[in-house]
Amino acid sequence: MPALAPPRVDRPGPDIAPAYAYVRDRTASLCAPLAPEDTVAQSMPDASPAKWHLAHTTWFFEEFVLARFVSGYRRFRDGWDYLFNSYYQTVGPMHARARRGLLTRPTLDEVLDYRAHVDAAMRRLLVERDDAGLLARVTLGLHHEQQHQELLLTDIQHLFSLNPLQPAYRESRAAPTSAAVDLRFVAGRHGVVETGHAGEGFAYDNEGPRHREWLHPHAIANRCVTNEEFRAFIDDGGYRNPVLWLSEGWDTVCREGWRHPLYWDDDLETTFTLAGRRAHVGAAPVCHISFFEADAFARWAGARLPTEAEWESFAGELPVQGNFADSGMLRPLPARSTGGASGGPLQMFGDVWAWTASPYVGYPGYRPAQGAIGEYNGKFMSGQWVLRGGSCATPAGHVRASYRNFFHPAARWQFSGMRLARDA
């Protein structure tokens, strides 16, 4: 019998319990290949231990659902709200992010007991109530947990990459070795376009309001930049030529000693993946590059990065299909021609998050939500850049054309890549 499709998390409806169970079970299954020791370590301040992810996503439901919708709810343990709050200042103080790896206690077993306790309380609540406010808050919690599912994978990969044994998180099928689809530029829409979330289904507050943008004539590449193409940039001295780089990017290259994307070896032949170290697939999208590297490559290639409005206008009419985490590959794959008209857009969703030329700021008319939930997105609108489209570590069904991811321009441990654009 074919496998049943997972519940819709973007539109769970009144019967949200199956979607809740699916997402929570998925997080636990992602941690199944890990030893208890793997779940405690923290590889850098930007990453978090797997045990902390398991606890924090549980705290989110305890803090923002159970404590607010269940009269007389008693928290699982006193003091854990301090340990597992991430950045919600209006809720209370929190343990320093860079010191999460020092939390050997509570133990992994205690955290798993915490998850079981909260899940049991949530199941009872979802049987007893189905009002709109509760459903909206639970839906937000599910999407929050899916974000942490991707962070779990990226943080585990970074942690394992620092181990001299180069362990594999999980074996995966061999990646296809087909030749790259010819790079073509496809004309994008120009003039007045509407961007931002519209219609039914879940969206974060930073995806709206829907608004008008003016786009000048431009074209966008039909696929992502490949490993082979980025290798040509390296071989041509891309990391040694300051003319190609933004000033802060060049300072970062010099300070950090960057000579290639994160996880590539110095011989430029292999990359470290969640399946361990593997030979490069030349036609696969280049991955684990910063905004600075994407911008420098685009300048070297005589092109530029697309703005997020250009990207969204290009992707908005396409089905949200691609190589997501559910495929089990957990690495970017080469673009495959659809067999239709040549040069059509490929890889708009999945494989790698595409850096854009747009800073992460609020849309015209944007207002954060009231209360602690308003801290979710709006307060990070400073010094970060927008990425679009999801990656091979993103849960299927989690992204849409209006979805705005954002990171600091030097960040490389996410599954971040690029697509070229140019003025027409």
Q: Write out the chain's pLDDT in tens, 424 residues.
A: 334 567 778 777 778 999 999 999 999 999 999 999 999 999 999 999 999 999 999 999 999 999 999 999 999 999 999 999 999 999 999 999 999 999 999 999 999 999 999 999 999 999 998 899 999 999 999 999 999 999 999 999 999 999 999 999 998 877 777 888 999 999 999 999 999 998 888 999 999 999 999 999 999 999 999 999 999 999 999 999 999 999 999 999 999 999 999 999 999 999 999 999 999 999 999 999 999 999 999 999 999 999 999 999 999 889 999 999 999 999 999 998 865 445 579 999 999 999 999 999 999 999 998 888 999 999 999 999 999 999 999 999 999 999 999 999 999 999 999 999 999 9
Phi then psi for 129, rounded to 5 degrees? -135, 150
Q: Report yes or no: 384 and 410 within 8 Å, Cβ to Cβ.
A: no
Q: Report yes or no: 249 and 409 within 8 Å, Cβ to Cβ.
A: yes
Q: Report yes or no: 61 and 29 within 8 Å, Cβ to Cβ.
A: no
Name the pTM for this structure.
0.96
Q: Report yes or no: 407 and 414 within 8 Å, Cβ to Cβ.
A: yes
Q: Report yes or no: 302 and 232 within 8 Å, Cβ to Cβ.
A: no
Distance CA 303, CA 286 (A): 17
Distance CA 396, CA 324 (A): 6
With a CB cutoff of 8 Å and minimum separation 6, the contacts of 411 are: 46, 290, 291
Q: Report yes or no: 366 and 196 within 8 Å, Cβ to Cβ.
A: no
What DSSP string describes 17-49?
A: HHHHHHHHHHHHHHHTTS-GGGGT--SSTTS--
Q: Report yes or no: 332 and 285 within 8 Å, Cβ to Cβ.
A: yes
Distance CA 406, CA 381 (A): 9
Taking CA atoms, 416 is separated from 224, 323, 350, in Å, by 11, 14, 11
Distance CA 205, CA 233 (A): 38
Residue 112 CA, chain-centre distance (Å), reads 24
Distance CA 292, CA 26 (A): 34
Q: Report yes or no: 333 and 278 within 8 Å, Cβ to Cβ.
A: no
Burial of 368 by CB count in 10 Å (0-12 exposed, 13-18 middle, 19+ buried)?
middle
Least Cα distance to 90 among 373, 368, 369, 362 occurs for 373
In this predicted structure, what is the pLDDT of residue 2?
Answer: 39
With a CB cutoff of 8 Å and minimum separation 6, the contacts of 166 are: 160, 272, 276, 277
Distance CA 303, CA 297 (A): 9
Token pair 């929570």 is found at 24
Distance CA 90, CA 113 (A): 27
Measured in residues, the chain has a length of 424
Least Cα distance to 72 among 113, 125, 112, 20 occurs for 125
